[in-house]
Structure 1
Amino acid sequence: MTWLKLCCIGWLLSATLASSVFASDKVIINLPLSKQDPRYDFSHRLLELILVQTTEQYGATKLQHAPTTMTRDRTLQELKRGELVTVVPQVSLVEWQQQLIQVNFPLLKGIQGLRVFMVRKDLAPPLKDLSEQQLKQLPTGLLPYWSVYPLLKNAGFKVVDGSEYQSLFNMLNRGRFDTFSRGINEAYNELEANHQQYPNLSIDNSVLINIPILTVFYVSPKHPRLAERLEQGLLMLEQSGKLNELFYAEFCPDLMRAGIDKRRVIGINNPNLSVEFLTQARQQGRLLDPKLPLDRICQPFVR
């Protein structure tokens, strides 16, 4: 075999190895349910940052959106197929954990389990004047496929079914139900996004529902390399301190506005969350502790 042939073979092997190592990951995320749906903004921006952060190890890739919006059940099925969508930020559920790859890293420190009520400004009597039992008797709106739905229902709340995300704000405004529980990370953004259309809506400032709810990245089982990449990127951001910085910069204004320490707290259990995962997240300091001095922590991030 000539020297030239050996060189060509060596070059081809090197090129094949390089293309294998830096094969572009197929990263397709879910679409928000409407233009007024800001719930995925932080998680999607975090995903983009992770992809940039891990370019050296995994190669450059392009973030794409799914071609259509999907219900939770369809999202699960499409994730299993790994074609229309490959990664979704979603509340950790044992059911999903058994069928998909769960990246065991809470994205939002559990803030979505710290829930406040969106109400009408003219609601009487206000929630602060109601006992816990009276509060639970008020009709509260949710979508049946949301993970919080059975939790509130089993806790004794009088739940009214909505048909789609955006219609819930209209139903609340029209008095079809009296309360609409939202995570602190959702409530104020949604109020602002819908203010022009529903100026009579506001956020109650007296009650806090505390449920262990953790959002994670779920990845299609057809794309295990992407799951590994996301976990490595999250660990890198955590170790550099960037992840905490991003979280508090994003959510401190809402945390301070919510005034957690001044609210009456109603705790609700979540049997759909893995106890092992919840315990691990707490031990690793990856959850928001409402008892922390948020005034001091958030001072650099709030004007």
Structure 2
Amino acid sequence: MKITKWWVGIICWLCLAALANGAQILTVPSYDSDKIDHDSYYFTRLLTLALDKTRPEFGDYELRQPEVVMVDDRLKAALVQGGVDLLWHTSVSLEDARLQAVPVSLLGELSQYRLLLIRSGEQQRFSSISSLAQLRQLTAGVGAQWPGVRVLESNELPMVTATGYPQLFRMLAAGRFDYFPRGIYQIISEVGMYPELDLAIESDLMLSYPNHIYFFVRKGDDRIAERILLGLERARADGEVDALIDSIPRFRWAREELQRGQRRVIPLQSSPQPVAQ
């Protein structure tokens, strides 16, 4: 009993200390943020950078991770309901007006280009394609809840959808569709993710459409939004955002691929919605 009371006392003391210090507690989906090839690696570090830059005005903070892994629509619902305080996502549609974007593009032009993951040995099927009309003769694969579904639909591109990210790689290898469009900053680390599937990066084409990734908070969480905006602006001005991007091999590869400018670009319409404010 004495030990129990002792621990209760310690916990209460820690709680009071946190309150006294005014630490801002933020629950964010930082799953696998220790893995450099996972998207969370970059976005969690970028968030931390922004929060560190604003300690003088907003004080200390603590990042916590949800106990349950949530993605896509479930994650956005958790933000609205208070299960998380922030997420990163492409610009949302009007039905998500309960969310508020921090209006700083987190990846700039890297989020506006897609390369194609295909089956090894099938490059010839793509080498003669130079227009959207020709691309419509093939079928894409995409996650059922991904924003890319709306982009493919608006461009009348045939598609197969599936729930589950790993499943799409296996479906491509099995011939269920012809190509898997991936972010230019994602594909170099994904091509070798399942070596037994024998996939390859298509070498001639690049898809482009207006697209940005933002941090989102709940509508009305102005203090969090203001802090992140100020921190991102400072980090960009200091060159620390570029330094972070350059420290990640797949991001460097994507920038170099854009600079080479040797691919045929097929522009797509995305009918982007206004950034939620």
Q: Does 2:85 match 1:91?
A: no
Q: 1:246-269: per-residue Cα shift (whole Å, max 9, x none)?
A: 234432223324665111111112
Structure 1's 142 and 104: CA in aligned 2 closer, same or farther, altered over 3 A?
A: same
CA distance in 2 between counterparts of 1:276 and 1:63 reads 24
User: How far off its partner does 1:275 sit?
Assistant: 8.1
Aligned mate of 1:208, from 206, 209, 216: 206
TM-score calculated relative to the size of structure 2: 0.82
In structure 1, the residue corresponding to 2:87 is in which secondary structure?
strand
CA distance in 1 between counterparts of 2:162 and 2:260 reads 28
Native 8 Å contact 2:23 2:61 kept in 1 = yes
Where does residue 241 of structure 1 map in the other structure?
A: 239
> How is 1:56-75 mapped onto 2 (pairs within 5 angstroms)?
56-75=56-75
Native 8 Å contact 1:33 1:69 kept in 2 = no
Where does residue 129 of structure 2 map in the other structure?
A: 130
Structure 1's 167 and 276: CA in aligned 2 closer, same or farther, altered over 3 A?
A: closer
User: How far off its partner does 1:33 sit?
Assistant: 9.0
Native 8 Å contact 1:81 1:222 kept in 2 = no
CA distance in 2 between counterparts of 1:37 and 1:74 reads 23
Native 8 Å contact 2:92 2:275 kept in 1 = no
Q: Does 2:116 match 1:117?
A: yes
> Rg: which structure is higher?
1
Structure 1's 238 and 48: CA in aligned 2 closer, same or farther, altered over 3 A?
A: same
Structure 1's 239 and 257: CA in aligned 2 closer, same or farther, altered over 3 A?
A: closer
Farther-moved stretch of structure 1 (66-75 vs 225-234): 66-75
User: How far off its partner does 1:142 sit?
Assistant: 0.2
CA distance in 1 between counterparts of 2:94 and 2:186 reads 24
Q: 1:187-212: per-residue Cα shift (whole Å, max 9, x none)?
A: 112224x14443x1111110010111
Where does residue 29 of structure 2 map in the other structure?
A: 30
What is the percent sequence identity of the aligned residues?
A: 26
Structure 1's 117 and 103: CA in aligned 2 closer, same or farther, altered over 3 A?
A: same
Q: 1:35-61: per-residue Cα shift (whole Å, max 9, x none)?
A: 897233211111122222222322222
Farther-moved stretch of structure 1 (178-187 vs 234-243): 234-243
**In the alignment, residue 204 of structure 2 is paired with which amino acid?**
S
**In the alignment, residue 41 of structure 2 is paired with which amino acid?**
D
**In the alignment, residue 26 of structure 2 is paired with which amino acid?**
V
Alignment size in residue pairs: 257
Farther-moved stretch of structure 1 (84-93 vs 119-128): 119-128
Structure 1's 187 and 238: CA in aligned 2 closer, same or farther, altered over 3 A?
A: same
In structure 2, the residue corresponding to 1:137 is in which secondary structure?
coil
Structure 1's 74 and 42: CA in aligned 2 closer, same or farther, altered over 3 A?
A: same
Unaligned 5+ segments in structure 2 are 1-18
Q: Which has the higher contact order (CA 8 A, sep 6+)?
A: 2
Structure 1's 32 and 258: CA in aligned 2 closer, same or farther, altered over 3 A?
A: farther
TM-score calculated relative to the size of structure 1: 0.76
